Amino acid sequence: MQTMGFLQICFAFGAVVYLSAISIAQEAAKAPDAKSTAPNPFAVTGPKPEPVETRKAEDVEAAIRRGVGFLLKTQNKDGSWGSARRTKELNIFAPVPGAHHAFRMGTTALALSAMIEVGGNDPEVQASIDRCEKWMVANLPQLRRAEMTAVYNTWGHAYAIQALVRLHGRTQDPVRRKQYVELIESQIDMLSRYEFVNGGWAYYDFEHHTQKPGGSPVSFTTATVMIAFYEAKEIGVAIPERLVKRAQASLLRQRLPDFSYAYGEYLRLSPGRGINRPGGSLGRSQVCNVAMRMWGDKETTDEIVDVWLDRLWARNGWLGIGRKRPVPHESWFQVAGYFYYYGHFYAAYAIEQLPAEKREKHFDQLAHVLILLQEKDGSWWDYPLYDYHQAYGTGFALMSLGRCRVGEK
The 10s digit of each residue's pLDDT in 267-323 is 999 999 999 999 999 999 999 999 999 999 999 999 999 999 999 999 999 999 999
Distance in angstroms (rounded) separating the CA atoms of residues 62 and 38: 44
Show me where the domains of the chain are located. 38-402
Q: How confident is the model at residue 5 (pLDDT cuts 50, 70, 90)?
A: low
Q: pLDDT tens across 320-343, in order?
A: 999 999 999 999 899 999 999 999
16 burial level (CB within 10 Å; 0-12, 13-18, 19+): exposed
Q: pLDDT tens across 100-133, in order?
A: 999 999 999 999 999 999 999 999 999 999 999 9
Stronger pLDDT, 383 or 41, i.e. the higher one: 383
Residue 287: which of 249, 260, 307, 314 has the closest Cα? 260
What whole-number percentage of the chain has pLDDT above 70? 90
> With left for phi above 0 and alpha for psi between -120 and 50, is residue 75 left, alpha or beta?
beta
Mean pLDDT of 227-232: 98
Residue 50 neighbours by CB under 8 Å, 6+ apart: 314
Identify the bridge partners of residue 204 per DSSP, sorted by sequence position. Answer: 150
Per-residue pLDDT at 16: 40
The CA–CA distances, whole Å, from 157 to 191, 246, 334, 336 equal 7, 18, 27, 22
Contact 388, 109 (CB under 8 A): no
Per-residue pLDDT at 355: 97
Which amino acid belongs to residue 5?
G
Judged against a pLDDT cut of 50, whether residue 34 lies above it is answered with no
Question: What's the angle, vertex CA 369, arms to CA 364 and CA 372, rounded to 5?
Answer: 115
200 burial level (CB within 10 Å; 0-12, 13-18, 19+): buried
Decide if domain 38-402 falls under CATH 1.50.10.20. Answer: yes
Per-residue pLDDT at 262: 97
Distance in angstroms (rounded) separating the CA atoms of residues 230 and 93: 30
Q: pLDDT tens across 169-208, in order?
A: 999 999 999 999 999 999 999 999 999 999 999 999 988 8
The CA–CA distances, whole Å, from 253 to 199, 257, 305, 355, 360 equal 11, 11, 19, 28, 33
Judged against a pLDDT cut of 50, whether residue 21 lies above it is answered with no
Judged against a pLDDT cut of 70, whether residue 15 lies above it is answered with no
Q: b/e per residue, 314-325, with b = 16+ CB within 10 A?
A: bbbebbbbbbeb
